[in-house]
Chain A
Amino acid sequence: MAGTGIPLSEAKNGSTLRISGIEVQGVLRRRLLDLGFVVGNVVEVLRRSPLGDPTAFRISNTTIALRREESSLIYGDLIGGAET
């Protein structure tokens, strides 16, 4: 299943996306699903650490930081809040 939309790692701070695909595999995939990274759920890009990695995301009312390795494999469609 190819992900549509943009990888979360490319989304701007403050933007909101609706998750359209998750290509992470194995144990970590399950963990991300358990945390709320499921297709259809809305995620907000909160802020990036000084070196740009990891990035804090808000999902299901909780803040979760992901590294690029993971966030680049989660795709979403922009639904709002992306001020350039």
Chain B
Amino acid sequence: MSEYTVAFAGNPNTGKSTLFNLLTGMRQHTGNWAGKTVITAEGEFTHKEHVYRAIDLPGTYSLYSNSADEEAARDYIIFEQPDVTLVVLDATSLERNLNLALQVLEITGQAVVCINLIDEAQKLGIDINLRKIGKRLGVPVVAISARNKVGIEALLDQVERVATGSFSAPPMRITYNEEIERGIAELLPLVEQTVGSKYPARWIALRLLDGDDSLMASLKENLNRHTPALKKEVTSHGIPACH
């Protein structure tokens, strides 16, 4: 029996928290205003023989726009590196929702795309070609209705595949225009040298080109946090740890 972490990412009002509560059995009120889920909620659920620690990230449209919510979601995915990032999309508004899915998939291929509100979409006459979306995105895609508990087992089966490593995909590689690709190629060796292989170098290079100061700050903090911590262990032996 192993324990895995699953981070729940998604736009606001996609039913992300409904799914989270359904799986973890938490009964918290889910409201509909911006920034509702500021503090990430945590819970636990089991599927087959595995235990999953679930983390409900703040609802965001993007990992780019530098609001506190988006930074929190982004930093969690990059630095905490959950075993699975579950991207919850609203079936009735896929166009906008896929924006976030693409951003997550550029960071990690250890993801499952979960299209929620599939019953709402059917009512509106929206027909979603799951097979095609799955093929384009390169990760498992499952349609569910969290509210009516449809498709949950199938979703958890896919989460298990990604968590246990029986399915794995490299981060999605979107090809940008020549100018941007040239910039990435130039930065990539430097980024790899600085951050090591632990973090998605191509994605970081892209963010640097975009002038993303907040990511820079988070990166700096994380790189510093990891290195001195090791030194401390050696030098501060016998001194009580201060938490």
A interface list, Cβ under 8 A from B: 27, 30-31, 34-36, 60-62
Contact = CB atoms under 8 A, between A and B. Distances in A.
B108 interface: no
A61 B93 contact: yes
Contact of A62 (B62, B64, B96, B99): B96
Given A27-B66, A34-B99, A60 B93 contact: yes
Contact of A30 (B62, B95, B96): B62
Interface of B is mostly: helix
Contacts of A30: 62, 64-66
Interface of B: 61-62, 64-66, 92-93, 95-96, 99-100
A26 to B, nearest CB: 9
A34 B61 CA distance: 6
B93 A27 contact: no
Chain A to chain B: the 7 pairs with minimum beta-carbon distance, closest first:
A34-B62, A34-B61, A60-B96, A31-B65, A30-B65, A60-B95, A61-B93
B188 to A, nearest CB: 23
A35 B96 CA distance: 6
A60 B99 CA distance: 12
B61 A61 contact: no
27 contacts: A27-B65, A27-B66, A30-B62, A30-B64, A30-B65, A30-B66, A31-B61, A31-B62, A31-B65, A34-B61, A34-B62, A34-B64, A34-B65, A34-B96, A34-B99, A34-B100, A35-B61, A35-B96, A36-B95, A36-B96, A60-B95, A60-B96, A61-B92, A61-B93, A61-B95, A61-B96, A62-B96
